[in-house]
Amino acid sequence: MATTETLAPVDPLAEAIGAADGRPEATAPTETPATTAALAHEEEAEVKPKDFLIIDYSGDLEKTWAAMILASTSAAMGVKTRVFVTFWGLQTFVRDDKRITGENWMQKMMSAMQRPGVSHRKLSKMNFLGMGPWMMGRLAKQYGVASPKELLEIAQEMGVEFIPCQMTMDMFGLKREDMIDGMGEPVGAATVIGLMTDNSVPLFI
């Protein structure tokens, strides 16, 4: 009884302040739960985890290695991971046992000069006719570092999508059967930009 009487005079005052602020006090409490719920919902939508998109461009041994480490790790962390494979990067995803690819003499010569396949990558520095990659391989084994081929297989197992670039496939004369199993449908740049601007953290390697 006493409480309601003491509280009563407070209300008009609060209303007056509310009115002065332009926020009617009386309606505020009824709106609050709805507003909070809406805000919470919006926040939930905003914190949707980002996808990870690697653009595997170079095809160099060390860069391929880095791309495979990041792809397998991000998949292990529960992040939706895609690798767009383009230009020299596409050579990495040609079957290891393919020696010559392409349809015309230029495409064939390109594959002859640079053997395709994940196990035949060259270092961008200190390649020394294959001595560098050989030493890298020895060191990796010694230190328990998984090879790019192993990491690629792990990444595929963990659901990483490898998406080839249609334009590069055409230019190099690569066919679907030249590529390793489990590659995605070839796409173009617009799909990649679409993924990037949608919800992906992009990385160009």
**Neighbouring C-beta atoms of residue 82, cutoff 10 Å:** 21
Stretch that binds other proteins, among 55-63, 66-74, 81-89, 110-118 (CB under 8 A): 66-74
State the nearest-atom distance from the C-beta of 183 to other proteins, in Å.
21
The total of other beta-carbon atoms located within 10 Å of residue 117's CB is: 18
Q: Out of 54, 59, 67, 72, point to the residue binding other proteins (CB under 8 A).
A: 72
Contact letters for other proteins, residues 18-57 (x by CB under 8 A): ----------------------------------------
Q: Shortest Cβ distance from residue 47 to other proteins (Å)?
A: 13
Residues in contact with 148: Cβ distance below 8 Å, sequence separation at least 6, in sequence order? 61, 64, 65, 68, 92, 118, 119, 121
Q: Are 95 and 117 within 8 A, CB to CB?
A: yes
Under a CB-based contact definition with an 8 Å cutoff, are residues 56 and 86 in contact? yes
Question: Looking at 67, 75, 83, 152, which residue binds other proteins (CB under 8 A)?
Answer: 75
Q: Nearest distance from residue 77's CB to other proteins, in Å?
A: 5
* 17 part of the interface to other proteins, by CB under 8 A: no
The b-or-e profile of 13-41 (16+ CB within 10 A means b, else e) is: eeeeeeeeeeeebeeeeeeeeeeeeeeee
**77 binds other proteins, rule: CB under 8 A:** yes
Q: Contact at 8 Å (CB) between 185 and 158?
A: no
Pick the stretch among 16-24, 110-118, 145-153, 167-175 that binds other proteins (CB under 8 A): 145-153
Number of Cβ within 10 Å of residue 138's Cβ equals 10
14 near other proteins (CB under 8 A): no
Q: Interface with other proteins by CB under 8 A: which residues?
A: 69, 72-73, 75-79, 143-146, 151, 154, 157-158
